[in-house]
Structure 1
Amino acid sequence: MDQASLDLTSAEVASSRLGISRASLYAYVSRGLIRSYASPHDPRQRLYALDDVEALMERKARFRRPTVAAATALDWGLPVLETSITQIRDGRLFYRGQDAIAITRTATLEDVARLLIGALDGNAFHHPSPIPGALTEPAFGPHDFVAQAIRLLSAPSVRETRGAEVAAILRMTAAAATGADPGIQPIHRHLASAWKAPPQAADAIRRALVLCADHELSSSAFAVRVTASTGASLRNAVIAGLAALSGPYHGGMTERVRAFLNSPGTAPHPAFRHRLYPEGDPRARALLENVPLLASDATTLRVLAGVSGGSPSIDVALVVTERAYGLPTGAAFTLFAIGRTAGWLAHAIEQRSQATLIRPRARYVAAENKPSS
């Protein structure tokens, strides 16, 4: 989003609305909480993003009313737990403090799993144990893929080192998509080979997996952490993540994107804005670099960008990448799920190390007494 499209205000108005001094306003700017721009009329004057000012006003109001803060914390609200895994700051995504977009240039999903989880046996991915359970036909799309992955993850398992268990779970999610064991082959190459993708698609698949690896406390990551907090196994925690991801407002959004691209005039168009990225989803930009979009998809994206003033989300980028390389229909979701498994494992392991049960309270609201008809 460029400066021309923003509502800007002066330091006097911004500090007055927030009820703070100029020095506090400048501190908010330095911490990245409020964006600041040079005035187009006077380069010596700074202007401030009104959206950021209003967001801070809302945040301060929540802090003054603890019950409101608690009630809204689960809806894009205040942070509810601490993590050292992933951070979203100033429109950028960081894995363990490292810029995820920069990591995407060379890293594999296995590399990112090691980074997100921390100390893992370096040979975990080089000496895999056999996948338990019979492999069947490849599965695509949220429901078939999730059912296949849950079946594999639910098979009896032997006691393993943490590294071996992590490697096995990642391989099982990949096997759910292809019907074959990746063995020691990098997962992105295994998927490209199984899907008979063109040679140039392998790198796009690699980038997609890395970009989807984690996204802070998403709905599925929260489901994983709640499950892990009960002492459940890593496999069962990942199953919870898969179930949450399959919903139409999370990973299942890829199906809605595909429906729109297939019938732009009849299906509702997908959202182009992401609440955590005011200036556009950097994951989508990184994925779509050098992807040869279908002409029809490129036109549709240009039209949507013009209408919404935004840029594609990762869901949109995954689907147009799937279509650009002729990957199996539904591959967008399976890439999302396989990549995100690395983050789920990191969240489950981090949560279990805290030995704390996640058990929020509910505020009881009496049901309305409606007259009988």
Structure 2
Amino acid sequence: MGTWISMDEACSRLGVRPQTLYAYVSRGKLEVMSDPADTRRSLYRAEDVAGLARRKQAGRKHETLATNTLFGAEPSIPTALSTFVRERLYYRGQDAVTLAGSATLEEVAHLLWDAEQPVDFSSTASVTEPGRVTAFNTLATLAATGHSTHGRMTRVLHLEAQELVGQLANAFGAQAGQQPLHLRFAQGWQQSPQVADLLRTAMVLLVDHELTSSAFATRIAASTGASLPACLLAGLTTLSGPLHGDASGRVKALFNEVERLGEDQVIAHYLSTGLPLAGFGHHLYPDGDPRAVALLALFDPPDVITRFIEKATRLTGLQPNIDVALAALVIHYRLPDDAAFALFATARSIGLLAHSLEQLGVGQVIRPRGRYIGIMP
């Protein structure tokens, strides 16, 4: 079987129409390239087609399930914000790891929001008791008094979105001021410019991750015409779960055990009891989370943490994900206890607002149907 095949052959092997083939490509399930002999035509990677065909033959029919169910497969919503191709994350077609090498959060927000003007997250508001409670209270107050997104120009919504991100950062401990967001966080936490650049890298890597549960919750709120702070609050409350954006808190607790008891004792306990190690493995990155690789390459975690990561990887076969890298960053630089969630929530607020803005163009309320399994009347 050749490496690349034509559209007609790909459609024939999969038993689908060209429109479905395009959907596979947009979801990152099928790689495509221009035909060198005729640039008007496209060629499709045969290995990807074969893999999709095997799954269809096994009865999974993934794409059909994805458009009709919420369990067993993800809901399928068209988006131009981010996707995965060959286990790499892309923001509007640009490699997220590459962007994290130099881009600021403001520049990534400008990209994702497709904004006309430069994005500015500066804020003059001061916070006396920064933290998660203040952040959620601030958003809740804004959500209760906010204006619907309907009937408002996109540029006006962009201005409101950047104000929301700036206020959220302040609530989490960033110092008020006019500087880029990563510098304001470093100043608020009394860190050096070197650490500020690490915070920038980490947050750029966390801005978006396609249709996560928090992005879906945000889109549901946006589809009803809710205010931007209400949409963001819906997303961040979902993000706060330990199986989502607060997973780094579980990793940090694990690292605290390692520092107290040593890596060998902790690993032995978890493996002997069959307990999963928080922060290892990711279903979207079976060969390793490129975001974690990029961030961990920029600093040296404490020796005991480094040894733990190496041994855990060797004994489980699972690679550390971004939650491990984020928790290691917080521990190494002695950032505030909830700094990992603060960085994650602030960065992801940019992506969640992008999902809100994108959903407004759909003009239809997201309303799944229930499948009743209770007592019949």
TM-score > 0.5, shorter chain as reference: yes
**Match for residue 358 of structure 1?**
366
1:96 aligns to 2:89 (yes or no): no
1:283 aligns to 2:283 (yes or no): no
**Match for residue 262 of structure 1?**
256
How far is the alpha carbon of 1:53 from its aligned partner? 6.4
Structure 1, unpaired ranges of 5+:
1-10, 12-19, 36-46, 369-373
How far is the alpha carbon of 1:317 from its aligned partner? 1.0
One of 61, 64, 74 as aligned partner of 1:63: 61
One-letter amino acid of the counterpart of residue 316, structure 1: V
Q: Is the 8 A contact 1:34 1:53 kept in 2?
A: no
**Match for residue 238 of structure 1?**
232
Q: Could you say if the C-alpha distance between residues 56 and 302 of structure 1 is closer, same or farther in structure 2, counting changes exceeding 3 Å? A: farther
Report the TM-score when normalising by structure 2: 0.76
**Match for residue 125 of structure 1?**
120
Helix, strand or coil at the partner of 2:249: helix
Q: Is the 8 A contact 1:120 1:162 kept in 2?
A: no
**How far does the alpha carbon of each residue in 1:72-99 deviate from its partner, in whole angstroms, 9 at most, with x for none?**
x434725511001101111011100111
**Match for residue 334 of structure 1?**
342
Identity rate of aligned residues, in percent? Answer: 37
Cα distance in 1, alignment partners of residues 72 and 326 from structure 2: 23
Range with greater deviation from structure 2 (264-273 or 246-255): 264-273
**How far does the alpha carbon of each residue in 1:320-358 deviate from its partner, in whole angstroms, 9 at most, with x for none?**
111111111111111110000110111000001211111
One-letter amino acid of the counterpart of residue 139, structure 2: I
One of 190, 193, 197 as aligned partner of 1:196: 190
Cα distance in 1, alignment partners of residues 83 and 63 from structure 2: 26
Cα distance in 1, alignment partners of residues 104 and 256 from structure 2: 31
Q: Could you say if the C-alpha distance between residues 55 and 76 of structure 1 is closer, same or farther in structure 2, counting changes exceeding 3 Å? A: farther
Q: Is the 8 A contact 2:279 2:323 kept in 1?
A: no
How far is the alpha carbon of 1:260 from its aligned partner? 1.2
Helix, strand or coil at the partner of 2:90: strand
Q: Could you say if the C-alpha distance between residues 228 and 151 of structure 1 is closer, same or farther in structure 2, counting changes exceeding 3 Å? A: closer
Cα distance in 1, alignment partners of residues 117 and 345 from structure 2: 23
Q: Is the 8 A contact 1:188 1:206 kept in 2?
A: yes
Q: Could you say if the C-alpha distance between residues 310 and 34 of structure 1 is closer, same or farther in structure 2, counting changes exceeding 3 Å? A: farther
**Match for residue 184 of structure 1?**
178
One-letter amino acid of the counterpart of residue 162, structure 2: A
How far is the alpha carbon of 1:289 from its aligned partner? 1.7
**Match for residue 139 of structure 1?**
131
Q: Is the 8 A contact 1:223 1:241 kept in 2?
A: yes
Q: Figure out how many residues of one structure are paired with residues of the other and give that number.
A: 327
Within 5 Å, give how 1:1-373 maps onto structure 2.
Answer: 24=13, 33=29, 57-59=54-56, 61-63=59-61, 73-75=69-71, 77=73, 80-122=76-118, 124-125=119-120, 131=125, 135-140=127-132, 144=133, 146-151=135-140, 153-154=142-143, 156=145, 161-178=156-173, 180-181=175-176, 183-264=177-258, 265=266, 268=275, 269-366=277-374
One-letter amino acid of the counterpart of residue 287, structure 2: E
One-letter amino acid of the counterpart of residue 61, structure 2: F
How far is the alpha carbon of 1:33 from its aligned partner? 4.8
Q: Could you say if the C-alpha distance between residues 367 and 323 of structure 1 is closer, same or farther in structure 2, counting changes exceeding 3 Å? A: farther
Q: Is the 8 A contact 2:222 2:231 kept in 1?
A: yes
How far is the alpha carbon of 1:147 from its aligned partner? 2.7
Q: Could you say if the C-alpha distance between residues 70 and 103 of structure 1 is closer, same or farther in structure 2, counting changes exceeding 3 Å? A: closer
Structure 2, unpaired ranges of 5+:
2-8, 15-20, 32-45, 259-265
One-letter amino acid of the counterpart of residue 356, structure 1: Q
Q: Is the 8 A contact 1:136 1:179 kept in 2?
A: no
One-letter amino acid of the counterpart of residue 147, structure 1: F
**How far does the alpha carbon of each residue in 1:248-285 deviate from its partner, in whole angstroms, 9 at most, with x for none?**
11012111111111124267521521111121111111
Q: Is the 8 A contact 2:140 2:230 kept in 1?
A: no
Q: Is the 8 A contact 1:287 1:317 kept in 2?
A: yes
Range with greater deviation from structure 2 (146-155 or 310-319): 146-155
One-letter amino acid of the counterpart of residue 135, structure 1: V
How far is the alpha carbon of 1:69 from its aligned partner? 5.5
Cα distance in 2, alignment partners of residues 327 and 94 from structure 1: 29
Q: Is the 8 A contact 1:146 1:243 kept in 2?
A: no
Helix, strand or coil at the partner of 2:78: coil
Report the TM-score when normalising by structure 1: 0.77
How far is the alpha carbon of 1:310 from its aligned partner? 2.3
